């Protein structure tokens, strides 16, 4: 018996447009916020303040070792309850995912910063540059270049992870696909289409990042 495709089930432009907007918004916002927070945490990880290092390590341990799905659900339901605060639902939903990204990118930045040759620090210190001047002008620019592949990789994972937000009723691509499926009983068409949307959104991002990476490659410019 062969399956008969019925692509008309997919036809709901306005729902998909909204869904794309929501996915892109969450993808960009939680990735950017997560990277910024991750950078700060990464800097704390290599700082000389041991209490900060310990606290950040603990945070990273917790957020790297629990599923993103649990973090999302927990922040959506438990966090506002535990602190007895009124958090807008959209923010609560994004929080878990942002911290998840922050935990992973903090490790990327830490590794990147520590991979820069000791000689760079010596040279800067000998030139009387301060710790933060060295970090800002010399260490971080090299870290970003060196870590671009890892950062892009993590951002792509993050972008796809926004699909998990559908469990807390964020109307993203995944949520819309599920809703359409229960309406039309056409999971194959609907989810294939959803997958295509993710590819169309993420692929260009990845290839742009790859080009940026090549532009950065001053080492092989000899």
- In the complex, the residues that contact other proteins under the rule CB under 8 A are 117, 119-120, 122-129, 133, 137-138, 141-142, 145, 218-222
> Burial of 60 by CB count in 10 Å (0-12 exposed, 13-18 middle, 19+ buried)?
buried
For other proteins, the closer of residues 5 and 132 by Cβ is 132
Measured from the CB atom, the residue of 48 and 222 that comes closer to other proteins is 222
- Minimum Å gap between C-beta 121 and other proteins is 9
- The smaller minimum CB distance to other proteins, of residues 139 and 194, is found at 139
Closest CA to 193 of 46, 66, 20: 20
CA dihedral 67, 71, 72, 76 (to 10 degrees): 150
The nearest distance, CB 148 to other proteins, in angstroms, is: 13
| CB closer to other proteins out of 77 and 132 | 132
> DSSP secondary-structure letter at 162?
G
Q: For other proteins, give the closer residue by CB, 13 or 119.
A: 119
Q: How far is the CB of 119 from other proteins (least distance, A)?
A: 4
Contact 184, 190 (CB under 8 A): yes
Min separation Cβ 151 and other proteins, Å: 16
How far apart are alpha carbons 72 and 163 in whole angstroms?
A: 11
The packing angle between helices 187-216 and 13-45, to 10°, is: 40
Least distance (Å) between residue 115 CB and other proteins: 13
Q: CB of 143: closest distance to other proteins in angstroms?
A: 10
218 Cβ contact list (under 8 Å, min separation 6): 145
Q: How far is the CB of 202 from other proteins (least distance, A)?
A: 28
221 Cβ partners below 8 Å, 6+ apart? none
If we measure between CA atoms, which residue out of 27, 2, 63, 4 comes closest to residue 173?
27
Nearer to other proteins, 95 or 124 (CB): 124
By three-state DSSP, how is residue 11 classified?
coil
Q: Which is nearer to other proteins, 58 or 123 (CB)?
A: 123
Report yes or no: 168 and 118 within 8 Å, Cβ to Cβ: no
């Amino acid at each position: 018996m062969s399956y008969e495709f019925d692509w008309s089930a997919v036809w709901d432009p306005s729902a998909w447009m909204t869904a794309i907007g929501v996915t892109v918004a969450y993808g960009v916002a939680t990735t950017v916020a997560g990277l910024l927070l991750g950078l700060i945490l990464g800097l704390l990880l290599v700082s000389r303040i041991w209490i900060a290092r310990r606290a950040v390590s603990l945070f990273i341990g917790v957020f790297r070792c629990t599923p993103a799905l649990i973090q999302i659900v927990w922040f959506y339901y438990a966090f506002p309850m535990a602190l007895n605060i009124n958090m807008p639902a959209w923010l609560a939903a994004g929080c878990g995912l942002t911290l998840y990204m922050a935990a992973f990118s903090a490790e990327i930045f830490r590794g990147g910063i520590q991979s820069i040759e000791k000689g760079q620090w010596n040279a800067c210190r000998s030139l009387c540059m301060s710790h933060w001047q060295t970090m800002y002008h010399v260490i971080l620019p090299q870290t970003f270049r060196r870590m671009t592949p890892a950062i892009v990789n993590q951002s792509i994972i993050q972008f796809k992870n926004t699909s998990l937000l559908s469990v807390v009723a964020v109307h993203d691509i995944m949520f819309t696909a599920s809703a359409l499926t229960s309406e039309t009983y056409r999971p194959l068409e609907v989810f294939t289409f959803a997958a295509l949307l993710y590819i169309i959104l993420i692929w260009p991002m990845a290839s742009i990042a790859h080009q940026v990476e090549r532009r950065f490659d001053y080492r092989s410019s000899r």
